[in-house]
Amino acid sequence: MITTNFIPAIESLIFAAPTPITIADIKYCLENTHAISIGIEEIEGCIHQIASRYQNVDFGIELKEISGGFQFLSKPEFFPLIAEYIKVNNRKKLSRAAMESLAIIAYKQPISKSEVEQIRGVNSDHSIQKLLEKELIEITGRSEGPGKPILLGTSNRFMEYFGLKNLSELPKLKDLAMPENEIGEPAPIEETVELLDQQKLNKLGEDE
């Protein structure tokens, strides 16, 4: 049976967490604060109740599972409103070069810097450095090839930024390359990919 008194506490933890909070972290905080023992199934039940409540049309946010944790996000129908707010506040956006590099890394990871540059056709030192600084990508290891170059991949921050539960939720390249998908406002991750011209999309799909 779910102890409903835990629901407000769990809700406040999710709200306060700057990144998606895991069930393990929720369990740790509850047990250490209240000196009690709570099962994972009970926490999952509370989270389910919270998520169900925020599905109501009276709420503009919803509870989503992202990158192994839980976070409150604005509902998709309010994305244009949020985008306008971001625009008004002059939020810095990634440069076109950085967005191109990010899209390539997202779809071809793990990938070396030189491979990114082969697809883009230009030096990508600056754009990759910016992506590392913004923690949208990370070093995942080294290639076994000549010189053992560093390999790059997307980070948990990337997943949070684009609201992805896992990489399988990335749009299919073939779908994004089709003209009919250019109708209407693109989703954030689609904005990243559409910056690549058709030639670069073709290069990305060569291994498929």
- Residue 184 above 60 pLDDT? no
Q: What percent of the chain is predicted at pLDDT more than 90?
A: 44
- Residue 119 above 50 pLDDT? yes
- Residue 15 above 80 pLDDT? yes
- Residue 24 above 90 pLDDT? yes
> Lowest-pLDDT range, 24-28, 68-72, 107-111, 156-160?
156-160
pLDDT value of position 202: 53
CATH of domain 96-207: 1.10.10.10
Which of the listed CATH numbers 3.40.50.2020, 2.30.29.30, 1.10.10.10, 3.40.630.10 matches domain 6-76? Answer: 1.10.10.10
Q: What is the pLDDT of residues 166-179, one digit of tens each?
A: 888 887 765 444 33
pLDDT value of position 75: 92
Q: What is the pLDDT of residues 134-157, one digit of tens each?
A: 888 999 998 888 888 999 999 988
> Lowest-pLDDT range, 46-50, 177-181, 193-197?
177-181
**Mean per-residue pLDDT for 47-75?**
94
Question: Domain coordinates of the chain in residue numbers?
Answer: 6-76, 96-207
**Mean per-residue pLDDT for 25-36?**
92
Whether 96-207 and 6-76 are alike in CATH topology: the answer is: yes
* CA gap 164, 166 in Å, rounded: 5
Contacts of 58 (CB under 8 A, 6+ apart): none
pLDDT value of position 93: 65
Mean pLDDT over the full length of the chain: 80
R_g of the chain computed on alpha carbons: 20
b/e string for 110-147 if b means 16 or more Cβ within 10 A? bbbbebbbebbeeebeebbebbeebebbbeeeeeeeee
